[in-house]
Amino acid sequence: MSPRRSVVEAGRTRRRILDAGLAIASAEGLEALTIGRLATGLGMSKAGVIGHFGTKEALQLAVVDVAVETFLREVPERARGVPRGLPYLRAVCEAWISYLERAPGGCFFMATATEFDGRDGPVRDAVAHADALWQRELRVSIWRAVNSAELPPDTDIDQLLYEIVATMLALNHYLQLRGDRGAPARARRALARHLGSPAIR
């Protein structure tokens, strides 16, 4: 095998490991992500799995990175091209709801935030950083909507942000824990009260 092909194959194997890790972590949490479990599930040796990462923590951090990529592709990227401000906020919230409806095992970040919120360390910091960046994106969109008079001038930006995030947390809870397929419609109605209905079905 040529060196170039070896690098390509190693990259593919690493991605297979990470995709499997993301599926497990989304459903059961990052602590359920063990080298042995991944090796068994992928038909690899433990050494073959750990050789791509070095430590369990490095594996967990790499899974967080893949989860960020997935979320960006499934949510903000789906609203690309929509005018900023309220139209973008509506579109990105719809994309978020759609993502939670389709995500196997539910939202990775909601699961890991609960798992790591009381801990210290690099994994907790990585999850918190990703959450902070996303909430900043939403806050800026709300601010733009207020500034352009698409939302009332007295809108409490932090309160609206809180209620959007709370709606999504409730949606994930009702879908995953209770199997309530009516929850997305309720989430859309909740957001429509704040954002109007054009992009919220």
CATH superfamily of 3-62: Homeodomain-like (1.10.10.60)
Look at residue 3 in the predicted model and tell me its pLDDT: 59
Burial class from Cβ neighbours inside 10 Å (0-12, 13-18, 19+) for residue 177 reads: exposed
Rounded Cα gap, residues 103 and 8, in angstroms: 28
- Domain range list for the chain: 3-62, 75-195
Q: Coil, strand, or helix at residue 75?
A: coil
Does residue 160 register a pLDDT over 90?
Answer: yes
φ/ψ region of 115 (left if φ > 0, alpha if ψ in -120 to 50, else beta) reads alpha
- pLDDT band of residue 1 (cuts 50, 70, 90) is low
DSSP string, 152-201: -TT--HHHHHHHHHHHHHHHHHHHHTT--TTHHHHHHHHHHHHH-STT--
75-195: CATH, from 1.10.287.1040, 1.10.150.240, 3.40.50.970, 1.10.357.10 = 1.10.357.10
Report pLDDT digits (tens) over 111-150. Answer: 888 888 888 999 999 999 999 999 999 999 999 999 999 9
Cβ contact 27:104 at 8 Å: yes
Report pLDDT digits (tens) over 16-60. Answer: 999 999 988 888 888 888 888 999 999 999 998 888 888 889 999
